[in-house]
Amino acid sequence: MRYARFEKDGVVACGIVEGDQIAVIDGKILDEGDRTGKTYTLDSVKLLPPVIPKTFYAAGLNYLAHVLEMAEERGVKPNIPEKPDIGYRANNALIGHDDTIIIPKDATEMVEYEAELVVVIGKQAKHLSEADALSCVFGYTIGNDVSERTWQRGDRTFWRGKNADTFKPMGPWIETDIDLDSLQTTVRLNGETTISFETNKMLFGVERYISAMSKYLTLYPGDVIWMGTEGKSPQMKHGDVCEIDITGIGTLRNPIIRES
Amino acid sequence: MRYARFEKDGVVACGIVEGDQIAVIDGKILDEGDRTGKTYTLDSVKLLPPVIPKTFYAAGLNYLAHVLEMAEERGVKPNIPEKPDIGYRANNALIGHDDTIIIPKDATEMVEYEAELVVVIGKQAKHLSEADALSCVFGYTIGNDVSERTWQRGDRTFWRGKNADTFKPMGPWIETDIDLDSLQTTVRLNGETTISFETNKMLFGVERYISAMSKYLTLYPGDVIWMGTEGKSPQMKHGDVCEIDITGIGTLRNPIIRES
C-alpha cells in the first residue's frame, strides 16, 4: 500500500495512492485511517513529506564505494565504519516531491545529491533483536541528502552543509510492501542516469541499524532512518532536475535553483 | 511569566506557574492560551519537558574553560570554535524535571552533566540580524546535556554518548522575562555545589547564534537551542541527584540510576 500526505486547497490530508489517483483517508498515515470515499487525481494535489519525524536519523557512511570515493576526493585515508553509529539530520530542511531545492547564494559549486532509502518507523520500539527489527517498520520512502561539500568539510557540524532549508527532499510517499533485496536505486540528473546501485548492498543493513539503535534509544512512530548512499554525485546547478528512483517505491523528483 | 507543561491524572496540559501553584491554560504554551480558572499545586502534577522541538539544536563548545578542560582531559590541543556552527540533539532523549536519568548498564563510569541555558523559539524566523535576533525568542529554560564521555569520543556520532534515552533532561518550565546578563548557572551534585558560572559569558551569545543560524535555516515555534556549558563535571553515579539552577529561571533536578 502507498500512503501519501498532501495539500489540497490549503488543507493537509493523507491518502492511499492507487495509480494516478489518491483516495483520502481519515486521520494520519501511521493510523492507517479509513477511506473517506473522496478521491483526487495525483496531479491535482501537492505532495508533502509523508511524515515529520520526532527524531530524524541518518546512517551517513553506509555503502563501500561512497566511503572510498569521498575519501579519495578529500585526499584522506578512507574511514570505513566498524559499527552502525547513527547520525542525525534536521526537520527544517525537509521538503516534498516536486518542491524546489534552493542553493544558498554563498554556497560553492560543490552541491551534490545523495540518493537514500528511508525507513519509516510505525511502532514504538526498544531492545529489538535483528530478527525482530523489521517489526517496528511501517514502510519505506526515498530521501535526497543534498550536501554542500565545502561546508560539510569545513564547518564543525553539518548544520548548513546538509541541513540548510530545502536540503532534505523526502517522498513521494510511503510504500509498505517492500522486498529489500529486490530494490535498485537509480539517479537521473536532467534525465540522464548518473548512478544505479543495489539499494540493500549496505555496510550495515536496516535490521542491524534498528537493532543497534534500539539498544540505547526508543524509536517512535514517524521517526525516519535515512540509510546512506552509494558512489559519488556530479555537481548540481541552477536549472537542474534531480530524480531518484527506487524500484517498488517510486520516484522523488526535485528541481534545483540557486538563490540570486 | 513562567509556562509549564504537565501531566495530571493522565492528561497533558499547560499552565502558568505562580509560586507553588499552576494555573491551567487553554491550548499550548506557545499560543499563550487563556486561563481556564482551574489551579493545581505544583507538587500535585508531573512536570514534562516544556516543549518537544521540531528541531533540537545544541551549541556544543561555547564556553572557554569547558573547551580547554575537555581538551586537556583528552590530551589534545584545544579546538576553540571560530564561528557558531550549531549542532543537534535528539528528541527521544528528552525527560522532564524530577524524571530519572538512567545510565545504560554497559556505560563506563564517565557519565557527566553539562548545565545549559536553553533558548525556546516562539516565532518562525529567517534572516534575522543580531539586533533583531531575540525577537523570535519566547523564553528560556534549563537543560542537562548528560554525556557518556567514552562513547562521545569513541563513536562516529553522539548517538548514544549524548542521545541515549533519558540523557536530555529539560525544564522545569519556560521563563519569558529574563535579563541574560544577570544570570548565574550553579550545579549541585547531591546538594554540594560543583560549579557556578556567569550564564551569558559565552564564546558566541544567543543573538550571534540565532543570526548565524537563521541565514541558512528557518527557526520554528518550539525549536530549542541549548547554549553549551562551562567547566568540567565530576562523574555521576547510581543514587546521585543533579540539580542545575539558573537564577531567574529555576532549578532542574534529576536523580540518577544505573540500569541493572
- Tell me the mean pLDDT in the region B31-49: 93
Residue reference for cell 553539518: A158
Whether B216 and A52 lie within 8 Å, measured CB to CB: no
Of A55, A81, A92, nearest to B90 by CB-CB distance is A55
Chain A residues touching residue B55 (CB < 8 angstroms) = 90-92
The residues, any chain, with a CB within 8 Å of residue A240's CB and separated by 6 or more, are A189, A190, A255, A256
pLDDT of residue A32: 76
H/E run at residue A212: helix A206-213
Pairing mode, strands A137-144 and A115-121: antiparallel
CA closest to A54 among chain B residues: B91
pLDDT tier at B256, thresholds 50, 70, 90: very high
Please state the φ and ψ torsions of residue B254, each to the nearest 5 degrees.
Answer: -145, 130
Ranges of CATH 2.30.30.370 domains, chain A: 1-47
pLDDT of residue B257: 98
Chain A residues touching residue B157 (CB < 8 angstroms) = 60, 85-88
pLDDT of residue B31: 79
Q: How many angstroms separate the CA atoms of B15 and B128, rounded?
A: 30
pLDDT of residue A28: 81
Output the CA torsion sign for B169, B171, B176, B178.
negative
pLDDT tier at B30, thresholds 50, 70, 90: confident
Which amino acid is located at A181 in the chain? D
Mutation to test the B interface, candidates A103, A159, A209, A258, most B Cβ within 10 Å: A159
Phi-psi region of B140 (alpha: psi -120 to 50; beta: other; left: phi over 0): beta
pLDDT tens track for B103-128: 999 999 999 999 999 999 999 999 99
Ranges of CATH 3.90.850.10 domains, chain A: 49-258
Which amino acid is located at B114 in the chain? E
Cell representation of residue A16: 492511499
The residues, any chain, with a CB within 8 Å of residue B178's CB and separated by 6 or more, are B139, B140, B248, B249
What 8-state DSSP symbol labels residue A128?
-
What is the mean pLDDT of each successive set of 10 residues along chain A, which is 260 residues long?
96 95 90 90 97 97 91 90 96 98 98 98 98 98 98 96 98 97 98 97 97 98 97 96 98 97
Whether A159 and B60 lie within 8 Å, measured CB to CB: no
Residue B24 near residue B6, CB atoms below 8 Å: no
Chain B residues touching residue A214 (CB < 8 angstroms) = none
pLDDT of residue B28: 81
The correct answer on CATH 1.10.10.10 for the domain covering B1-47 is no
Query: What SS3 state is found at A257?
Result: strand
Q: How many angstroms separate the CA atoms of A85 and A100, rounded?
A: 31
Other CB atoms within a 10 A radius of the CB of residue B208 amount to 15
pLDDT of residue A128: 98
Whether B165 and A220 lie within 8 Å, measured CB to CB: no
CA closest to B159 among chain A residues: A86
Whether B218 has a pLDDT exceeding 80, the answer reads yes
In chain B, the percentage of residues whose pLDDT exceeds 70 is: 100
CA closest to A166 among chain B residues: B217
Cell representation of residue B17: 506557574
Cell representation of residue A220: 517512535
CATH topology of domain A49-258: Fumarylacetoacetate hydrolase; domain 2 (3.90.850)
Does the ipTM exceed 0.90?
Answer: yes
For chain B, the 3-state helix, strand and coil shares in percent, each to the nearest 5, are 15, 40, 45
Whether B32 has a pLDDT exceeding 80, the answer reads no
Whether B217 and A163 lie within 8 Å, measured CB to CB: yes
pLDDT of residue A79: 86
Residue B229 near residue B145, CB atoms below 8 Å: yes
- Tell me the mean pLDDT in the region B18-41: 91
Whether B41 has a pLDDT exceeding 90, the answer reads yes
Closest-CA distance of chain B to residue A41, Å: 31
